[in-house]
Amino acid sequence: MLNLPFSTKSIIRAVFLTLFVLTVKLHAQNQSPVSKSPTFSFNNGLGFVSPDSSFGLSIRLRIQNRIGATLTEMSDGTWQVTQNEFRVRRARVRFDGFVFNPKWTYAIQLSFSRADMDWDGSSVPNVLRDAMIFYRPSKNWIIGFGQGKLPGNRQRVISSGEQQFVDRSIVNATFTIDRDFGINTSYTIPIGKPQIIVRAAITSGEGRNEGVVAYNKVNAGLCYTGRFEFLPFGAFDKRGDYSEADLARETKPKLSLAGGWSYNEQTVRTGGQLGRSLLSPLNMNTLITDVLFKYRGLSIYGEYVNRMSTTSPLTYSYDGNGKIIDTRWIYQGEGILGQAGYLFKNNYEIAARFAQITPQKEINNLEEIRKNYAICFSKYLKGHRLKLQSDFTLEELYDGQSKARNGRNIAWRFQIEMGL
């Protein structure tokens, strides 16, 4: 008998093992490929896209830590410290992305510092700032639905994290139309190299998360806002028309001329979308114009705002005998802002600002004329994502009727901005 080097059992095992391997291999070839992992990126915050590209999410966060002091001129000519500021001015988280396809996008922004929650106007911790759903039918047209910024004055629409001063001006603080809930749209009309941008919105008029007003009446009025922008020399680099300071160092002059108008029908707050509740609804008109110029590190910005009520800006509450017990009003008046800055090649910037707000006749016995002269020094370590800023402001106060000077303040602020 022939002696084989392998036993029968060994041969049988080898045959079965071979058949098993071939079966597994053929089965694997008939299956769909192993699922891909999500795609991660760090271009604009921390982002990822699902394996089937049906969902995208970008997470960004930022904080503004600030210290400061205010000195007030006393009647005897001396100066005294009247306020110290040590606080987290802003702490925010933002989520952006798309669902189903890139034409459907969303933006959610939350705020967590007390100074950033509209406590004074709403008396509640108003955490939600933005909750928008966008649809882009074409490259130049976008439609938004939800809560977000209205197409108002440019300095408001520019993020608080992309300012060339520690914060926005008194003109913005007094006249901005801020955020609201509703529908808005933006359409860019290319006419060769120049551009025309038309923005419009129809919103509730009550501001962030309002719904029913303080005196338990549903407001039937809406807010209608429109804005027109003309860019004669074409688009700014890196959307620089909505970012302060010329960090892109425009190699050619860039200019944006803009005008806008907002009509808030039966508004129930002193600032339209912001402020305390009025004692009765009023109709409010706000006219806005602004201009922006940038070239080789130089940036120049100007803004004019005029606000008026279609009737008296004053509202009253009465006791049982018809006696006035409280008065609240719309700031009916005008504001003017001018600021300019120059960014050096080492990413240091020096900027100067003048801002003034002036109440009109019907409230000039209730409000003062305020003038601000400011200078700011900034160091951009990583653009607006990491920067150090310090500004000094001289504020002059004048009686709204006699125009006599009532007093002066000097404010100093230092702030570090850090974010993704």
What tens digit of pLDDT does each residue of 48-69 get?
Answer: 898 888 899 999 999 999 999 9
Are 134 and 106 contacting, i.e. CB atoms less than 8 angstroms apart? Answer: yes
Are 65 and 89 contacting, i.e. CB atoms less than 8 angstroms apart? Answer: yes
Note the pLDDT of residue 123.
67
DSSP state for residue 9 in the 8-state scheme: H
Q: What would the mean pLDDT of 29-36 be, rounded to a whole number? A: 49
What tens digit of pLDDT does each residue of 302-332 get?
Answer: 999 999 999 999 999 999 888 999 999 999 9
pTM, to two decimals: 0.87
Phi, psi of 82 (to 5 degrees): -110, -10
Are 200 and 225 contacting, i.e. CB atoms less than 8 angstroms apart? Answer: yes
Note the pLDDT of residue 119.
72
Q: In sequence order, what DSSP letters do the residues of 92-150 get, joined into one string?
A: EEEEEEEESEEEEEEEEEEE-SGGGTTHHHHSS---EEEEEEEEEEETTEEEEEEEEE-
Q: Which two tokens stand for residue 115?
A: 């100074």
Note the pLDDT of residue 187.
98
Determine whether 1 is exposed, middle or buried from the number of CB atoms within 10 Å of its CB (0-12, 13-18, 19+): exposed
Phi, psi of 224 (to 5 degrees): -120, 120
What tens digit of pLDDT does each residue of 253-311 get?
Answer: 999 999 999 999 999 999 999 988 899 999 999 999 999 999 999 999 999 999 999 99
Q: Which two tokens stand for residue 70?
A: 């205010």
Question: Helix, strand, or coil here: 192?
Answer: coil
Q: What would the mean pLDDT of 389-414 be, rounded to a whole number? A: 97
Under the banding of pLDDT at 50, 70 and 90, the label for residue 215 is very low
Residue 254, H or E segment: strand 254-269
